[in-house]
A and B are shown apart, each in its own frame.
Chain A
Amino acid sequence: MRDEGDASLVEIDSILTAAKRAGAQQAEVYSVRTEETPVRFEANRLKEVSSRETSGAALRVIVNGRIGFASSTRPDDVAELVEAAVETAPFGPEARLDFPSNGEAAEVDVFDTDVESMPVDTMIETGRSLIDDVLQVETQLLCDAYVRRAVATVTVANSNGGLFAYRGSGYSAWLHGTLIKGTDMLFVGDGDASCGSQLDLAAARASIAGQLERSRGMAAVRTAEMPVIFTPLGVAGALTMPLVMAFSGRMVHQGQSPLVGKLGEQLYEKSLSLWDDATLGTRAGSRPFDDEGVPSRRTALIENGVVRNFLYDLQTAGIAGTSSTGNGERSLAAQPSISTANLVLSTGSSRFDEMVSDVREGLVVEELMGAGQGNVLGGDFSGNVLLGYKIENGEIVGRVKDVIVAGNVHEALARVTLGSEGRWVGGTLFTPPLMFERLSVSAKA
């Protein structure tokens, strides 16, 4: 393996030294190197094998109390990196953070040598068997699929003596199927992601088979308010983003979250709890510390319906007068921002089929298209039901189309029924199905 590209410890040290010499009171280097191998299938056939190496370093400096930033995929060019960071500092935000010296990292398993050494042929076989299994359910389906493995080395080092480094691995597989009849298009899909080499593809297969089964016929919908059940996929696609955004300490501090001043208040259904947890073994969002070197932890966002905590990175915590929750996440090209790791939503006692059997007229939503548009900041969600089913008299009777489901996630979660069957979706969200008594449904007249 070559080791050019990402900043070696020697290089990191020389960057920090040069930054201090250029006038920085504090300096921090974030260095990452990722090697990724995606295998891609198109129209049921193997199409492309790739390998991607990405590496580089980002430098944050504090000069005269202000933060400057630069990043480069050429960290060996120390002078250019330091000069660019120092040059931006006079215009930068006032520093409200101290880079952490060494602390305890969370004990969490995020590297699997089986992922690192996984042969491409094994990945091809995984993709092929996933496609073959799904084709047994529906022979006319055209499947695109990918199987991807990645290994990353992350290093955070700062001038306060902090040095944090780990290796992580990632493995994922996903299948998208399309079934076209006339101009009618049905889209199905599912998959899994993990730090380890074991994926729960049986759950993905079962989910896709269920999608195909429930979509056999079409059903009509009228414009009305009615009960809507979101499956775990539906929750992940439509509800998580507008909900979690409101818990960002940055949004709260700036008055852009509807949860300003609501800490300790019960806003949500009493049985509802939600955590962010970066310490879960092998989960795709886990890590021993965040991208600023702050140890990972489990943070309750909602406990029994009560707003418990907001999420912070170092700078935002400094501004808000609290401490980082270890949610500073970054790419090379930007400074850290607040992001969740693995979200876990509490389960309830209602089985999915019981929820369905309680509904006289309603919908099941697997995927809302365009759900992330609109007034997300305020918690609104709305989208075209790309995959969803009609419930009539307690039974799923067919697939729906040309329907928009809309609501506000904070209002909706005040009265929600939690399902008992939770599952991981996309590797970073654990959720049961959720049932809302009344949501706005708009259909083609």
Chain B
Amino acid sequence: MDDATRPDQVREEIEVALEGHNADYVEIRLDDTASNRIVYRGRELEEIGRTRSSGGNVRALVKGGWGFVSFNDLSGLRERVAEAVGQARHVGSESSALAELDPIVDSVIPGRVKDPRTIPLATKKALLDHYNETMLSVPGVTSTNITYWDGHKRVTFANSEGSYIEQERIDVVSRLAATARKNGDMQQASSSLGALNDFSYVETLEESARQLGEKAVALLAAPYAKGGTYTVVLDPVLAGVFCHEAFGHLSESDFVYENDRMKEIMVLGRQFGQKHLNIVDGAAVPDLRGSFKYDDEGVPATKTDLIRDGILVGRLHSRETAGKMGEPVTGNARALDYRFPPIVRMTNTYIEPGDTPFDDLIADIEEGVYACDWYGGTTSMEMFTFSAGEAYMIRNGKVAELVRPVKLTGNLFTTLMNIDSLGNDMGFNQGGGCGKGGQMPLPVSNGSPHIRIRDCVVGER
């Protein structure tokens, strides 16, 4: 099947393939992605290229056991279904439990602010050339990295219950990094950004590029923070990463549904934070990297309250985890591409703003750390770490000297309780890609106001 194949012909082939499968549930998902990639390292453009990736998969459920077959060659779908059903039958020995879902037939083509496919490669390259030159022109910057990627993805989903959904999306992501080097010491400042269905932001990165260059150079002269326990204030970008790592992953029900002890820990009604803390996830929040209309099981996107007034009130589900736990579906089953089955993932995850102005957040901190932006983050559920891209000491209620990037770590259960003040602002970080079960980078966003955390462990690099 390709562009020349009529959509109704594709649909007929899929529907025929799904007939008489002899399983509790079967789904077929096809996707087709066309992408552009541009990479710079220093003054040299390292790579420019186009990629077309298309393929499909069949997932089958028999007596609680799953079979999954993925392929590039889309002919013989019926045989693929038989293969997946055969695998599922091999595994299944208990009972299947998928949350109920009414069949949906829909076709979703999102509105586009600025479609990167309408921008000539020459224009994209000229923009990036300029940003690269901007970073390199800062005295002291010795090298740079730029990675730009845009991808247009078309997904067709059908299941044995009668759903048939076509969806399209366009992702634009970029990472700019400047490196400064002096006497064998090397520091880097970087910024990862992204947008859904819109190229526009890529056109306005000049100021950001210059600042990255200056920051990398400034870091060479900056001291390391002294490791230890501090009151920390996180900017909205880093607080968003914290929200994703420290709490978001724990709310993914596939870590919970087969694990009685995790069920005890994650019992609804448990207090996780102070009364001002509210955390939400939802692909139904529009126009962010984690937004969509249907997830990869054909479940409509929702907005799920995870923590409300400090209390655990919800969690993220696939149809299987919702079915096994007897809770409503949330539309959080997502797959990176056709090579993978959908698993429970976050979408747009954020802490709702409070009412404290920034100056008041830091006013009574004698010695603390103000940490901004991010390198990355990871979690073990109980413990999390995330690294700031930029950090300053807070002294006597004021933001003081720049220090080298720090790493923050803590125990989820105590740290959420230690968030004692929430800013009255809000920001979203759209440049990240989430990884889980070998599926990375999945487009997500996370957001937060400035937040203050008491007693947070800070590592010095």
- A370: which of B125, B145, B385, B460 is its contact (CB, 8 Å)? B385
- B409: which of A182, A223, A404 is its contact (CB, 8 Å)? A404
User: A53 with B72: in contact, given A442-B457, A444-B229 (CB under 8 Å)?
Assistant: yes
> How distant is the Cα of A52 from the Cα of B457 in the complex, in angstroms?
43
Report the minimal beta-carbon distance from A79 to chain B, rounded to whole angstroms: 12
> Which B residues lie within 8 Å of A183 (CB)?
265, 382, 411, 413
Per-residue contact bits, chain A 320-346, to B (CB 8 Å; 1 contact, 0 not): 000000000000111100000000000
> Which A residues lie within 8 Å of B142 (CB)?
255-256
Within 8 A of A (CB), among B343-401: 375-387
Q: Does A436 contact B (CB under 8 A)?
A: no
> How distant is the Cα of A406 from the Cα of B413 in the complex, in angstroms?
24
User: A74 with B54: in contact, given A185-B380, A254-B143, A382-B461 (CB under 8 Å)?
Assistant: yes
Chain-A contact segment, one of B157-165, B181-189, B297-305: B181-189
Within 8 A of A (CB), among B184-210: 184-188
- B186: which of A85, A142, A378 is its contact (CB, 8 Å)? A378
> Which A residues lie within 8 Å of B42 (CB)?
254-256
Within 8 A of A (CB), among B8-33: none
Q: Does A46 contact B (CB under 8 A)?
A: yes
User: A375 with B186: in contact, given A56-B72, A91-B125, A442-B457 (CB under 8 Å)?
Assistant: yes
Per-residue contact bits, chain A 202-228, to B (CB 8 Å; 1 contact, 0 not): 000000000000000000000100000
B71 and A88 within 8 A (CB): no
A373 and B53 within 8 A (CB): no
B48 and A92 within 8 A (CB): yes
Q: Does B336 contact A (CB under 8 A)?
A: no
B72 and A93 within 8 A (CB): no
> Which B residues lie within 8 Å of A281 (CB)?
none
> Which B residues lie within 8 Å of A258 (CB)?
184-186
A88 and B121 within 8 A (CB): yes
A71 and B49 within 8 A (CB): yes
> Which A residues lie within 8 Å of B52 (CB)?
70-74, 80, 84
Report the minimal beta-carbon distance from A127 to chain B, rounded to whole angstroms: 12
Number of A-B contacts defined by CB within 8 Å: 272
B72 and A73 within 8 A (CB): yes
B407 and A373 within 8 A (CB): yes
B51 and A71 within 8 A (CB): yes
Q: Does A372 contact B (CB under 8 A)?
A: yes
- Contact residues of B: prevailing secondary structure: strand
Per-residue contact bits, chain A 255-289, to B (CB 8 Å; 1 contact, 0 not): 11010100000000000000000000000000000
> How distant is the Cα of A386 from the Cα of B53 in the complex, in angstroms?
37
Q: Does A120 contact B (CB under 8 A)?
A: yes
Q: Which residue of B lies closest to A267 (CB)?
A: B184
User: A406 with B383: in contact, given A50-B68, A335-B47 (CB under 8 Å)?
Assistant: no
Within 8 A of B (CB), among A42-76: 42-43, 45-56, 68-74
> How distant is the Cα of A80 from the Cα of B2 in the complex, in angstroms?
12
> Which A residues lie within 8 Å of B87 (CB)?
48-51, 120
B41 and A250 within 8 A (CB): yes
Report the minimal beta-carbon distance from B122 to chain A, rounded to whole angstroms: 7
A445 and B229 within 8 A (CB): yes
Q: Does A374 contact B (CB under 8 A)?
A: yes
Q: Does A2 contact B (CB under 8 A)?
A: yes
Per-residue contact bits, chain A 401-445, to B (CB 8 Å; 1 contact, 0 not): 111111110000000000000000000000000000000111111
Q: Does A369 contact B (CB under 8 A)?
A: yes
Q: Does B318 contact A (CB under 8 A)?
A: no
> Which B residues lie within 8 Å of A56 (CB)?
53, 72
Q: Does B70 contact A (CB under 8 A)?
A: yes
Q: Does B247 contact A (CB under 8 A)?
A: no
> How distant is the Cα of A423 from the Cα of B378 in the complex, in angstroms?
27
Q: How large is the interface on B (under 10, 10 to 19, 20 to 34, 35 or more residues)?
A: 35 or more
> Which B residues lie within 8 Å of A440 (CB)?
227, 459-461
B37 and A48 within 8 A (CB): no
Q: Does B140 contact A (CB under 8 A)?
A: no
Most A CB atoms within 10 A — which of B259, B381, B457? Answer: B457
> Which A residues lie within 8 Å of B53 (CB)?
56, 71-73, 332-333
> Which B residues lie within 8 Å of A53 (CB)?
70-73
User: A88 with B48: in contact, given A382-B461, A445-B228 (CB under 8 Å)?
Assistant: yes
Q: Does A377 contact B (CB under 8 A)?
A: yes
Most A CB atoms within 10 A — which of B46, B381, B386? Answer: B46
> Which B residues lie within 8 Å of A2 (CB)?
73
> Which B residues lie within 8 Å of A4 (CB)?
73, 75
User: A374 with B69: in contact, given A72-B51, A254-B143 (CB under 8 Å)?
Assistant: no
B265 and A91 within 8 A (CB): no
> Which B residues lie within 8 Å of A68 (CB)?
48-49
> How distant is the Cα of A43 from the Cα of B404 in the complex, in angstroms?
41
Per-residue contact bits, chain A 166-185, to B (CB 8 Å; 1 contact, 0 not): 00000000000010111111
> Which A residues lie within 8 Å of B258 (CB)?
42-43, 45, 142
Q: Does B45 contact A (CB under 8 A)?
A: yes
Q: Does B285 contact A (CB under 8 A)?
A: no
- A374: which of B38, B66, B262, B405 is its contact (CB, 8 Å)? B405
> How distant is the Cα of A77 from the Cα of B50 in the complex, in angstroms?
14
Report the minimal beta-carbon distance from B217 to chain A, rounded to whole angstroms: 14
A373 and B457 within 8 A (CB): no
Q: Does A380 contact B (CB under 8 A)?
A: yes
Per-residue contact bits, chain B 402-428, to A (CB 8 Å; 1 contact, 0 not): 001101011101000000000000000
A91 and B45 within 8 A (CB): yes
User: A5 with B461: in contact, given A70-B49, A72-B51 (CB under 8 Å)?
Assistant: no
- Further contacts, 18 of them, CB under 8 A, given A56-B53, A256-B181, A406-B460: A50-B70, A51-B87, A53-B73, A71-B49, A73-B54, A88-B48, A254-B41, A255-B142, A333-B35, A334-B47, A373-B378, A373-B385, A373-B386, A384-B383, A401-B411, A404-B227, A406-B459, A440-B459
Q: Could you list 14 examples of A-B contacts with CB < 8 Å?
A: A69-B49, A70-B51, A71-B50, A74-B52, A93-B47, A183-B413, A184-B382, A334-B49, A335-B47, A370-B386, A374-B375, A384-B383, A384-B459, A440-B459
B contacts, CB < 8 Å to A: 2, 35, 37-38, 41-42, 44-55, 65-73, 75, 83, 87-88, 90-91, 121-122, 125, 142-143, 145, 179, 181, 184-188, 227-229, 258-259, 261-262, 265, 339, 341, 375-387, 404-405, 407, 409-411, 413, 455, 457-461
Nearest 8 pairs of A and B residues by beta carbon: A404-B459, A69-B49, A442-B227, A370-B385, A43-B258, A180-B261, A50-B68, A373-B376
